[in-house]
């Protein structure tokens, strides 16, 4: 069995594949594509930024779990969270009892520390890459292929958490986006599991989208969410990030989930309207530092673009993802309201 290890700063030994992030950013191919932990878990490098983990014999509890980050290369907190989990597996500190597919999704953007190099990768899933010739389209197709192979065995539970950062402060620091799936409501159990991971709100989508989590939910029937992780000022680390790491460890190790029924589910929101950028004259009329989930009084001017004005009409409206620096035709913000 392959056992090449490296030494961490605290002197602990770690399998070389536990340094998946460093390999990915450096564009390196590992010397060994398969390694085993001391407990017998199998780590297999599938390709750039992709690691599959199989539990030791007799330890598999029937869960296929995908954890992904780096769809947008500038979102550093999610990348660090996934790196911490992978390193802990490589040091044998986390002993997997679930099959894992661990993905750093957009290496070129990660290397440059930018949201995207070309097309927005998170708009190219659900087959939307088919007529796109960009490098991002090829990467979306590769990610879909890895996921299809990973989810190929029937009769197993399928979960996917795609880790992101909204890149701004939020009134509700950590929240999730639940993709729309025809004739399926998000389960209470999955909402309570999110709450246990320090997620305070969930936006339930009511129409199709081209995100990574939408692909795994609609194509493979996975319980899938886009998780927007809390922002952290330099030198700080919000407690909710540790809450997520603890929950993720429990998922990976199939640890008892505790009394989920004692938890309150996250606050639920739905999309009321999208603010769409139609031209280069588009202008947001909101403060640059406005926080996600800020309440919006009726009559508030949100944006203007070639004679079009977005004004708040909905009672109890809140703003989400305001961002003027998007491509023409893409959304520059969401108006969301509580879901009844």
Could you tell me which of 306, 338, 298 has the C-alpha nearest to residue 320?
338
Structure tokens, 167:
């890149």
**The one catalytic residue among 144, 228, 234, 274:** 228
Residues contacting residue 267 through CB under 8 Å, at least 6 positions apart:
172, 200, 201, 202, 338
Specify binding-site residues: 72, 75, 164
CB 318 within 8 A of CB 335: yes
Bridge-based pairing of strands 295-296 and 267-276 is unpaired
Give the Cα separation of 109 and 115 in Å (integer): 6
Please give the angle made by the CA atoms of 213, 218 and 224, to the nearest 5 degrees.
35
DSSP type of residue 155: T
Supply the DSSP string of 86-110, one letter for each residue: HHHHHTTSS---SEEEEEE--HHHH
The rounded Cα 305 to chain-centroid distance in angstroms is 31
Bridge-based pairing of strands 175-178 and 223-229 is antiparallel
Q: How long, in residues, is the chain?
A: 340
Specify binding-site residues for Zn(2+): 72, 75, 164
Provide the β-strand partners of residue 226.
Answer: 162, 177
Give the Cα separation of 68 and 85 in Å (integer): 11
Helix (H, G, I), strand (E, B) or coil at 297: coil
Residue 228 annotated in active site: yes
Structure tokens, 30:
């590992």
Active site residues: 228
């Amino acid at each position: 069995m392959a056992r090449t290890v490296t030494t961490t700063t605290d002197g602990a030994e770690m399998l070389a594949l536990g340094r998946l992030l460093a390999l990915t950013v450096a564009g390196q191919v590992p010397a060994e594509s398969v390694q085993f932990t001391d407990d017998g878990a199998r780590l297999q490098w599938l390709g750039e930024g992709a690691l599959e983990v199989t539990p030791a014999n007799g330890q598999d509890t029937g869960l296929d779990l995908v954890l992904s980050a780096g769809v947008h290369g500038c979102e550093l907190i999610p990348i660090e969270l996934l790196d911490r989990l992978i390193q802990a597996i490589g040091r044998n500190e986390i002993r997997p009892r679930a099959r894992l597919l661990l993905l750093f999704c957009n290496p070129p953007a990660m290397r440059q520390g930018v949201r995207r190099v070309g097309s927005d990768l998170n708009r190219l899933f659900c087959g939307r890459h088919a007529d796109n010739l960009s490098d991002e389209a090829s990467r979306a197709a590769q990610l879909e292929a890895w996921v299809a192979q990973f989810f190929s065995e029937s009769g197993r539970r399928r979960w996917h958490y795609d880790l992101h950062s909204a890149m701004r402060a939020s009134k509700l620091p950590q929240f999730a986006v639940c993709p729309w799936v025809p004739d399926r409501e998000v389960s209470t159990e999955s909402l309570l599991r999110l709450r246990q991971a320090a997620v305070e709100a969930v936006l339930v989508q009511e129409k199709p989208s081209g995100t990574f989590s939408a692909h795994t939910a609609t194509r493979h029937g996975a319980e899938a969410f886009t998780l927007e992780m809390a922002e952290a000022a330099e030198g700080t680390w919000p407690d909710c990030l540790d809450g997520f790491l603890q929950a993720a460890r429990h998922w990976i190790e199939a640890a008892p989930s505790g009394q989920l029924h004692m938890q309150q589910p996250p606050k639920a929101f739905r999309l009321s309207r999208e603010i769409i950028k139609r031209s280069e004259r588009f202008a947001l009329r909101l403060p640059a530092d406005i926080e996600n989930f800020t309440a919006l009084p009726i009559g508030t001017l949100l944006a203007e673009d070639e004679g079009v004005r977005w004004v708040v009409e909905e009672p109890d409206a809140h703003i989400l993802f305001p961002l003027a620096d998007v491509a023409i035709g893409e959304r520059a913000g969401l108006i969301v309201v509580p879901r009844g």
